[in-house]
Amino acid sequence: MSIEDYNLIANIIDSCETKEVLPKIAKILDKHFSIDDYMIIIFKRGASPTLFAYGKKTNGNNLKPFKSIETSLLLNNVHDPASIYFSGAYLLDPYCEFWDSYSRDGFYLMSDITSADFEKTEYFSKQYDAWEFKDIGRYIFQFTDDMVIHYSLGRHQNRPNFSDEDRNGLKKMLPFIRSSIGKCIKNDIKDIYKKQKDSEIFHMQLEQRFLAFGTSQLTNREVEVTRLLLKGYSVKGISKIMNISPSTVQTHSKNIYKKLEVCSSQELFGLFIEALESTSVIELEDPLSQFLFTAKT
C-alpha cells in the first residue's frame, strides 16, 4: 500500500460515523479496482428496502473525486430507475432473491448469481442498463439480526467487466467494508428502522400483487412461468426450476403472451410495472383485472 492509501484510511477512520466517509471509501476502492459509482441499500425482511446513499464520479475521469447524490433526487423522479426499483421492481432483483436464499456474507458479481443471458432481459434494461452499467458487484453482509446491507459497485459501459482478480481483491476487503460502512449506518439506525417499519404494509401489498399477478387470466402453471419470466430466467432456467421441458416452457410463454396481449418478455415486464402501480387494487386480487379493465374503457 502507498502513503496515499494510508492517508485515505486515516481520513476514513476520522469520519467513519458520518456519510462523509462514503466518497472516501469509494475513492480507495476506485484506486485499486476502478469503479464509477456506489449505492448502499438496506434490506429488512418484511419491509421495503431503504436507499441509504448513492454516489458517483463527477465525470468519467478516474482522478476526479466521488460526489454524494441526494437520494431524494433519485426517488422523487418517477422516470429514474431508482424510483422504479424502490416502487416495486426490487421484488424482481436477482440480488434480492439471492440474499433471500443464500445468507453468507461476501462480494458477488452479477455473473455469480445470474444466468449468462440475464443482460438480455427487460429487467436488466430497465434497471442496470438504464444506469449505463457495464458490470455490477455487491458486498452483501449481515448488519443486525434482521437487517442486511447491500453495497453495490458499478462500472459504466466504457469499462471492461470486473475480472477474477478484481473479484478476489474485493472479497479480501469485506472486513474493511463491513466495519466502515456499518459504523456509518449505525449513526442513522433509528431513522432507518422507522422508515422500514412505515414501509411494511406497502411491501406486503406489493408482494401480494406480485403473487396475484395474472391469476385472473392465466392457469396456475402459466402464473408460475410468468413469475420466472419477470425475474429474468431463461427458457432453460425455467425448465430446470419447474422440471419441465424447454418446449413446454415455450408453449406456456406463447399462451401467456396471447392471453395478456403482449408480444415479448419486455412487454410483459412493462405490463407488470404498470399494473403494480395501480393504487386501488383490492387485496389479493389480480392487479391485472382492474388495470386491463381500465385500459380498455
Q: How far apart are CA 111 and CA 134, in angstroms?
A: 12
Q: What pLDDT is attached to residue 108?
A: 95
Q: How far apart are CA 19 and CA 38, in angstroms?
A: 13
Nearest Cα residue to 133 out of 111, 151, 156, 114: 156
The phi-psi region of residue 284 (left if phi > 0; otherwise alpha if psi is between -120 and 50; otherwise beta) is: left
Q: How far apart are CA 192 and CA 198, in angstroms?
A: 10
Neighbours of 65 (CB within 10 A): 13
Q: How far apart are CA 168 and CA 158, in angstroms?
A: 22
Q: What pLDDT is attached to residue 297?
A: 46
CB 277 within 8 A of CB 293: no
Q: Write a three-state SS string for 37-50.
A: EEEEEEEECCCCCE
Q: How far apart are CA 43 and CA 97, in angstroms?
A: 12
**How does 194-207 read in b/e, with b if 16+ C-beta sit within 10 Å?**
ebbeebeeebebbe
The three cell numbers locating residue 64: 476526479
Q: How far apart are CA 212 and CA 195, in angstroms?
A: 26
Rounded to two decimals, what is the model's pTM? 0.84
pLDDT digit string, tens, across residues 244-276: 999 999 999 999 999 999 998 888 988 888 877
Which residues in the chain come in under a pLDDT of 70? 1-11, 13-15, 59-64, 277-284, 290-297
Q: What pLDDT is attached to residue 291?
A: 62
Long-range contacts of 249-256 (CB under 8 A, 24+ apart): 249/225, 252/221, 252/222, 252/225, 253/225, 253/229, 255/218, 255/222, 256/214, 256/218, 256/222, 256/225, 256/226, 256/229
Give, in order, the Cα–Cα distances in Å from 137 to each of 43, 124, 127, 134, 253.
17, 14, 14, 11, 31
**Sequence-ordered strand ranges (E) for the chain:** 37-44, 50-57, 66-69, 106-109, 133-144, 147-156
Q: What pLDDT is attached to residue 143?
A: 92
Q: What pLDDT is attached to residue 37?
A: 92
The three cell numbers locating residue 163: 475480472
Nearest Cα residue to 65 out of 32, 26, 39, 34: 26
What domains appear along the chain, each with residue ranges and CATH number?
3-198 (3.30.450.80), 200-296 (1.10.10.10)
